[in-house]
């Protein structure tokens, strides 16, 4: 992936007559250093309907200056700050246009999907810069005076515009210095720019007319508001985790899988508010996506668990041969990751994201969606809790063994759904206190049942490993010891669950 940096900057335009700002006596600034002027030439690319720009993302190829190359700028939660991902200039594409580096495309794949990128704006900028430096000569802040010429491309008929602006960017200073410089710029006749970026200013009305991504409800007044808010959150989470998964960031596969499961669960919980004829096929595709993510995630969980059990063995049993067989899954990991990335680059995945976007833009609401939020959502949570009860209580009465393992696994899935619907209900002020308590109880049940299911999966893996070891003429006794360690962990859960369930099966939302 490309180099990532946090870029904190502010833009200013003339508010009338302007003069040179007074930069004397700024805190921590020892001198002003004038730099050589630069001629910058940038081509911005986007989809024809401006999917990046409408999400405050810019992607450009710029020549000139001391940071020539590709720059992808992404929104940040910090004020005046964006995340910039950089890549070298690279080569031109086959048609003579700029070829976007794969590392940058991976950052926005969940937004672009398989849509075509085209040049939309060319910006030429005559830039004059100064640095405010400290006593050691290190630059703290850059002030750039830009004379900009913009040309609209791709059906923009070559329309041109021009303007001047001043840009301040933190290099190694603090926001207090930014604020102090802003006061001096105001005194010189400048004000904050009304456009968030040069690209937005160049696009003008074209950007204003572009289709916007769907937005979540602002208040939870109806059942539809709660359902759509939760669905929005999970769709946004899937999109946000996508580039992290592609970069192989720790825990990213797990988090994206959880968001996928939460979303699928929500579509089931709110089946009385959202038309199942629309949402059931989406749920099937979400199940597929969770399975794709599970190929890698389940391997990670199993590998970690096997290593934990291996550490519990006496030294004389924890042989190198045993450790090599348990930990010898690097080729499996590489294969699972390659398959995951193939699926995340597939048309099937991109069409699922398109469908989710359409669902949010035009939700298939039923009459029940107009019901007041508190009553309707409380009923939905109680339904999910009763479903959990119908799975837990019969499982507790069963004898230990394979059938009970299957029953507890079904209970675990029901516990997840009960937890997720309870999370969604926290958006309703009248339910928030009860929902937080209920969510905590459901999470505890889910984790307990999850520990049991992980033990079941681990024991199955140990039996397979033992068969492989036997076929290779290796000692299989350590596998039996490991199996027993896992059996004891499952037994602990099976003894604990009858004590924990009554504490979870209570409260306002327990049904």
Q: What is the pLDDT of residue 328?
A: 61
Q: Hey, is 160 helix, strand or coil?
A: strand
Please, what is the end-to-end C-alpha distance for the chain in angstroms?
Answer: 49
Q: What is the pLDDT of residue 296?
A: 72
Where in the sequence of the chain do the CATH 1.40.20.10 domains occur?
223-503
How much is the average pLDDT of 475-496? 95
How much is the average pLDDT of 372-398? 97
Q: What is the pLDDT of residue 1?
A: 57
Share of the chain above pLDDT 90, in %: 86
Q: Do 132 and 23 contact (CB within 8 A), yes or no?
A: yes
Six-digit token pair at 468?
A: 């492989």
Residue 332 has pLDDT above 70, yes or no: no
Q: Highest mean pLDDT range out of 63-67, 88-92, 372-376?
A: 372-376
pLDDT band, residue 92 (cuts 50/70/90): low
pLDDT band, residue 370 (cuts 50/70/90): very high
Residue ranges of alpha helices (H) inside 317-401 are 320-327, 330-344, 347-361, 373-397
pLDDT band, residue 300 (cuts 50/70/90): confident
Six-digit token pair at 193?
A: 């720019």
Cα angle for residues 160, 11, 197 (degrees, 5° grid): 50
Q: Do 268 and 230 contact (CB within 8 A), yes or no?
A: no
Strands, E assignment, 199-243 = none
CA 468 to chain centre: 39
Q: What is the pLDDT of residue 333?
A: 64
Q: 216: buried, middle or exposed (CB in 10 Å: 19+, 13-18, 0-12)?
A: middle
Q: Do 421 and 266 contact (CB within 8 A), yes or no?
A: yes
Mean pLDDT score across all residues of the chain: 93
Q: What is the pLDDT of residue 173?
A: 78
Where in the sequence of the chain do the CATH 2.40.320.10 domains occur?
3-209
Considering only 2-11, 111-120, 386-395, which range has the smallest mean pLDDT? 2-11
pLDDT band, residue 382 (cuts 50/70/90): very high
Q: Do 411 and 395 contact (CB within 8 A), yes or no?
A: yes
How much is the average pLDDT of 338-360? 97
Q: Do 266 and 355 contact (CB within 8 A), yes or no?
A: no
Q: Do 45 and 199 contact (CB within 8 A), yes or no?
A: no
Q: Which CATH superfamily is domain 3-209 in?
A: Hypothetical Protein Pfu-838710-001 (2.40.320.10)
The position carrying tokens 């709660």 is 226
* Residue 58: closest CA among 124, 127, 121: 121
* Residue 281: closest CA among 367, 225, 356, 383: 356
Q: What is the pLDDT of residues 211-266, one digit of tens each?
A: 999 999 999 999 999 999 999 999 999 999 999 999 999 999 999 999 999 999 99
Going by their DSSP bridges, the two strands 3-14 and 81-87 should be labelled as antiparallel
Residue 78 has pLDDT above 80, yes or no: yes
Q: Tell me: domain 223-503, CATH 1.40.20.10, correct?
A: yes
How much is the average pLDDT of 43-54? 97
Q: What is the pLDDT of residues 303-323, one digit of tens each?
A: 889 989 999 999 999 999 998
Q: What is the pLDDT of residues 140-192, one digit of tens each?
A: 999 999 999 999 997 777 899 999 999 999 999 789 999 999 999 999 999 99
Residue 386 has pLDDT above 60, yes or no: yes
Cα angle for residues 231, 235, 238 (degrees, 5° grid): 140
Q: How far apart are CA 505 and CA 403, in angstroms?
A: 23
Q: What is the pLDDT of residue 17?
A: 76
Q: What is the pLDDT of residue 383?
A: 97
Q: What is the pLDDT of residue 465?
A: 92
Handedness of CA 348, 354, 358, 359 (dihedral sign): positive
Q: Do 150 and 123 contact (CB within 8 A), yes or no?
A: yes
Q: What is the pLDDT of residue 93?
A: 56
């Amino acid at each position: 992936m490309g180099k990532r940096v946090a870029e904190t900057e502010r833009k200013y335009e003339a508010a009338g007559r302007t003069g040179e700002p007074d930069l004397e006596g700024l805190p921590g600034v020892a001198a002003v250093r004038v730099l050589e002027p630069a001629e910058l030439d940038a081509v911005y690319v986007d989809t024809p309907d401006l999917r990046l720009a409408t999400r405050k993302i810019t992607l450009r190829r710029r020549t000139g200056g001391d940071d020539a190359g590709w720059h992808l700028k992404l929104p940040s939660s910090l004020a005046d700050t964006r995340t910039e991902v950089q890549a070298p200039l690279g080569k031109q594409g086959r048609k003579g246009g700029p070829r976007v580096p794969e590392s940058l495309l991976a950052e926005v794949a969940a937004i672009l999907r398989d849509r075509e990128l085209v040049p939309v704006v060319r910006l030429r900028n005559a830039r004059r810069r100064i640095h405010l430096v400290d006593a050691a000569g290190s630059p703290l802040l850059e002030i750039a005076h830009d004379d900009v010429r913009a040309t609209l491309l791709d059906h923009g008929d070559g329309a041109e515009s021009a303007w001047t602006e001043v840009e301040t960017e933190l290099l190694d200073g603090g926001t207090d210095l930014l604020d102090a410089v802003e006061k001096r710029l105001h005194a010189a006749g400048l004000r904050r720019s009304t456009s968030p970026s040069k690209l937005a200013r160049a696009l003008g009305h074209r950007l204003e007319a572009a289709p916007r991504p769907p937005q979540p409800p602002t208040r939870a007044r109806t059942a539809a508001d709660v359902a759509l808010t939760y669905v929005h959150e999970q769709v946004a989470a899937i999109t946000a985790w996508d580039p992290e998964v592609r970069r192989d960031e720790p825990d990213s596969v797990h988090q994206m899988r959880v968001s996928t499961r939460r979303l699928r669960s929500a579509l089931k919980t709110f089946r009385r508010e959202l038309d199942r004829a629309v949402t059931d096929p989406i749920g099937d595709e979400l199940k597929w996506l969770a399975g794709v993510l599970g190929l890698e995630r389940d391997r990670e969980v199993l590998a970690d668990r096997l290593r934990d059990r291996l550490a519990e063995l006496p030294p004389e049993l924890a042989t190198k041969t045993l450790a090599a067989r348990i930990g010898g899954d690097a080729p499996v990991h590489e294969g699972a990751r390659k398959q995951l990335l193939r699926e995340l680059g597939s048309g099937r995945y991109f069409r699922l994201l398109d469908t989710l976007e359409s669902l949010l833009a035009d939700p298939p609401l039923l009459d029940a969606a107009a019901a007041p939020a508190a009553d309707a959502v409380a009923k939905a949570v109680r339904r999910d809790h009763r479903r959990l009860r119908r799975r837990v209580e019969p499982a507790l009465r069963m004898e230990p063994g394979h059938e009970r393992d299957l029953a507890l696994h079904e209970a675990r899935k029901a516990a997840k759904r009960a937890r997720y619907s309870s999370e969604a209900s926290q958006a309703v002020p009248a339910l928030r206190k009860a929902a937080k308590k209920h969510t905590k109880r459901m999470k505890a049940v889910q984790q307990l049942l999850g520990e049991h299911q992980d033990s079941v999966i681990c024991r199955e893996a140990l039996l397979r490993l033992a068969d492989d070891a036997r076929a290779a003429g290796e000692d299989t006794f350590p596998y039996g010891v490991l199996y027993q360690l896992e059996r004891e962990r499952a037994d602990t859960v099976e003894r604990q669950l009858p004590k924990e369930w009554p504490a979870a099966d209570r409260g306002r939302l327990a049904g």
